[in-house]
Structure 1
Amino acid sequence: PGVRLWSTSIGVNFVGSISPFADSNIQVLRTFRIAFNGNWEHAYYKNFKGCFLYTNINNQTVCGTVNGKQLARLPSYQFRLTPSDTQSFNWGTVTEQMTFERVGIRYQDYTNLTPLPTYYDLNAGVNAVVGAHWEFTLLGRNLTNQMGLTEGNARFGGNTVQNNVGFGRSIVGREVSIMAKYYW
Structure 2
Amino acid sequence: MTLGDETGKRLYQTEFSNCHGYLRLVNYTPPHDVEKQQELVEGLGMHTDMSCITIVYQDSVGGLQMRSKEGKWIDITPCEDLLVVNIGDLMQAWSNERLRSSEHRVVLRKLVNRVSLAFFLLFEDEKAILAPQEIVGEGNCRRYKSFKCSEYLKFRQSNEVGKFEKIGYTVKDFAGLKAASIR
TM bracket, shorter-chain basis: under 0.3
- Higher helix content, 1 or 2: 2
TM-score after normalising by structure 2 = 0.23
TM-score after normalising by structure 1 = 0.23
Q: Which has the larger radius of gyration?
A: 1
